Amino acid sequence: MSWDEAIAMGTLTLRVGGVAIALALGPALALGLWLARHEFRGKALVEAVIALPMLLPPVAVGLGLLLLFGRRSPLFPLLHALGIELPFTWWAAALAAALVGFPFLVRACEQAFAEVDPRFEHMARSLGYTRGSTFIRVTLPLARRGVLYGAVLAFTRGLGEFGATAVVAGIQPGRTETLALGIWSRIEQGDDSGALVLCAASFLLALAATTLAEGWLRRAPGTEGNART
């Protein structure tokens, strides 16, 4: 277990986690806002479906992704024509991480948006802001703490993703072997010290991510701060 290897694995893990958040953030914001602002019959069911990737065993999520994007999927001809071959690439790892982190992110967004007083939005609208700019300049800044908190939760969950990733991306050193997969394959080889080095790397990554986010949350004016000024 060389440091180069561990660093390469950490970089890959960060990339996978970063792309995962990038993939999940847009849909999660939209869905969170919609859920926060609408009451309807069957909402509980919708919430439950969104929570599924969090509730299902991750390997089941991985199998679902593999069946959906794999060679025998009914979608495959279309994906192939578009030049998209997802399984066993690091994009597959990112998608798996995005999916398992998605419920955390949606839930956090929903709660954050629900706490934004709609009067601020009405004011902005009456002052001539469009719906879009009201969201960007009023709603999102007011909800930023919750959104950021959810993003950190989803990101760190994605960093440690194992089951879904192993199924849909495989454990390919240098390509899809993230820290979590690396730890597993070293345990399987009986290389406990190698596994521990990677555990330490994971620990440092998670600590850095949460510390950065905490610092950020503390410095940024929060919901209450903004609302009172």
List interacting residues with other proteins (CB under 8 A): 11, 14-15, 18-19, 22, 66, 70-71, 85, 87-90, 170-175, 185, 187-190, 192, 216, 219-221
Q: Which is nearer to other proteins, 24 or 35 (CB)?
A: 24
Exposed, middle or buried, 88 (CB in 10 Å: 0-12/13-18/19+)?
middle
> At closest approach, how far in Å is the CB of 130 from other proteins?
24
Q: Which is nearer to other proteins, 51 or 140 (CB)?
A: 140
Q: Which is nearer to other proteins, 8 or 51 (CB)?
A: 8
Whole-number Cα distances in Å, 185 to 167, 172, 222:
14, 10, 42
> At closest approach, how far in Å is the CB of 185 from other proteins?
8
Q: What is the DSSP letter of 137?
A: I
Phi-psi region of 190 (alpha: psi -120 to 50; beta: other; left: phi over 0): left
- Cα 21 to Cα 29: distance, rounded to the nearest angstrom: 11
Task: Return the H-helix or E-strand segment holding 21.
Answer: helix 3-37
Beta carbons of 54 and 28 less than 8 angstroms apart: no
> At closest approach, how far in Å is the CB of 55 from other proteins?
25
Whole-number Cα distances in Å, 149 to 48, 144, 145, 146, 153:
21, 8, 6, 5, 6
Q: Which is nearer to other proteins, 50 or 97 (CB)?
A: 97
Q: Which is nearer to other proteins, 108 or 167 (CB)?
A: 167
> At closest approach, how far in Å is the CB of 104 from other proteins?
20
| Number of Cβ atoms within 10 Å of the Cβ of 68 | 16
Residue 4 tokens read as: 């180069």
> At closest approach, how far in Å is the CB of 201 from other proteins?
16
Q: Which is nearer to other proteins, 24 or 50 (CB)?
A: 24
> At closest approach, how far in Å is the CB of 189 from other proteins?
5
